[in-house]
Copies of this chain bind each other. A is one copy, B any other.
Amino acid sequence: MSSALRIGVAGLGTVGAGALALLQANREIIAARCGRPLLVSAVSARDRSKDRGVDLSAVRWFEDAAVMAADPDIDVVLELIGGADGIAKTVVETAIRNGKAVVTANKALMAHHGTALALQAEEAGVALAYEAAVAGGIPIIKILREGLAGNRVARIYGILNGTCNYILTTMRESGREFGEVLAEAQQLGYAEADPSFDVDGVDAAHKLAILTALAFGCEVNFAGVHTEGIREISAVDIAYADELGYRIKLLGLARLVGEGVEQRVHPSMVRADAPIANVDGVFNAVVADGDFVDSTLAEGRGAGAGPTASAVIADVIDIARGLRLPAFTVPASQLRSLPSLQMERHEGAYYIRLMVLDQPGVIADVAAALRDAEISVEAMLQRGRAPGEAVPVVITTHDTQESRMIEALRRIDALATVLETPRMIRIESL
């Protein structure tokens, strides 16, 4: 058996403690699989006295994670601190500069600095691995980089945020509104006290930017992700989606369009019989469409100590086995700079819901606005009658360009008989 791989762990929060627990619980089986032992050589965290359920008495302790990252007796640094900049970035850059492999669970860091870090790692000849940054319970980085490496990927999409999926699933099952379900999710620990990072789609956008670079061999471009969250989704829209044969999911989707790439995170209506429509609760799923493999889906837990630790340690095992691939499959210097498609140029179908005054001529006015924007209606639903009062009208359209839809919605919103700002949800054909 070869010599031990010496690990330095920066950050002992939920993920760090989970990684240590995994290494302890499965030490022997991992050593057999790697052909060498994995040894936790050093750790760095703020509070030394905290009980993390793992015996750290024989492990060197660093007050400063960046100092640990330069330590000559460490082969791999696990960056489990988090945050797009600051100490996390310093730790990763220091480790690379000192010739150490890096494993990170940090999606914000990879989304903002992935290309630059990949370049640094390749120049230094070290691995930069980040399986845990996207959907910990799904080895999607490995699937894309290796399992589907013979394919040209045309589209990749997924449910990338468990908090949003839990909220949308619960709203559908209970008929309750967003605010109430969010509050419950916070009590259960499925949502943070400040939920904006999750419910506004930022977390999913980080992950999508990473997947896009990997799938299409382009630079990571987080700024190019069109991002919307789920705060505006209401129970009535979820009920209409059901009636129309759809589910509403917060999807992240990237595809090649012409000479560029479309990257977008927003609530989508997907057909109820699409495999991803049935991925519920805190689960994540990713679908990749390859030219030879066709469509392939992977589903698992997106977060939590165990699944994230599983992903972190899978990366460490790869490194222990000697695997060192470019972070985004092709060398970082060869990553293409692909322009992001402006959302106004998106082509797709739409669901819109209006609250209108129930009086003659309203539907004609709405239909005229759509016609003037050259939008073709697929279906229209008006439920119940309440002369002189507000009633919902739901319209689905055939494919059109988003700029036309924006124009039509502007005109519809201006109608005196339309009582609320229209709601729009994109329909995704998967």
Contacts of A29 in B (CB 8 A): 152, 217
For A310, give its contact among B290, B313, B331, B334 (CB under 8 Å): B290
With known contacts A32-B334, A329-B33, A151–B310 Cβ distance under 8 A: yes
Interface secondary structure of A, over-half rule:
mixed
Q: Which of A144-166 contact B (CB under 8 A)?
A: 146-152
What is the 8 Å Cβ interface bit string for chain A, positions 131-154, against chain B (1 contact, 0 not)?
A: 100001111001100111111100
Which residues of A are at the interface with B, using a C-beta cutoff of 8 A?
18, 22, 25-26, 29-30, 32-35, 131, 136-139, 142-143, 146-152, 217, 275, 278-279, 290-301, 304, 306-307, 309-311, 313-314, 316-318, 321-323, 325, 329-331, 334
- Contact across chains for B296 and A150 when beta carbons are under 8 A apart: no
Instruction: Count identical subunits in the complex.
Output: 2
Contacts of A34 in B (CB 8 A): 149
Contacts of A279 in B (CB 8 A): 275
Contacts of A278 in B (CB 8 A): 275, 278
Beyond A18-B292, A137-B293, list 19 extra A-B contacts (CB 8 Å): A25-B292, A29-B217, A137-B294, A138-B296, A139-B142, A139-B143, A146-B146, A148-B314, A150-B309, A150-B314, A275-B278, A275-B279, A292-B307, A292-B309, A295-B301, A296-B299, A297-B298, A297-B300, A322-B322
How long is the Cα–Cα vector from A329 to B18 in the complex, in angstroms? 23
For A143, give its contact among B142, B301, B306 (CB under 8 Å): B142
9 contacts between A and B (CB under 8 A): A22-B150, A26-B151, A26-B152, A30-B149, A30-B150, A139-B143, A296-B298, A296-B299, A321-B325
How long is the Cα–Cα vector from A22 to B150 in the complex, in angstroms? 7
With known contacts A296-B299, A300-B295, A149–B33 Cβ distance under 8 A: yes
Nearest CB of chain B from residue A134's CB, rounded to whole Å: 12
Q: Which 8 A-B pairs have the closest CB atoms?
A: A139-B147, A150-B313, A296-B300, A293-B310, A292-B306, A292-B310, A297-B299, A149-B317
How long is the Cα–Cα vector from A278 to B280 in the complex, in angstroms? 13
- Contact across chains for A330 and B32 when beta carbons are under 8 A apart: yes
- Contact across chains for B26 and A150 when beta carbons are under 8 A apart: yes
Nearest CB of chain B from residue A395's CB, rounded to whole Å: 30
Which residue from chain B places its CB closest to the CB of A295 in the assembled complex?
B300
How long is the Cα–Cα vector from A151 to B323 in the complex, in angstroms? 19
Contacts of A136 in B (CB 8 A): 293
Which residue from chain B places its CB closest to the CB of A290 in the assembled complex?
B310
Contacts of A137 in B (CB 8 A): 293-294, 296
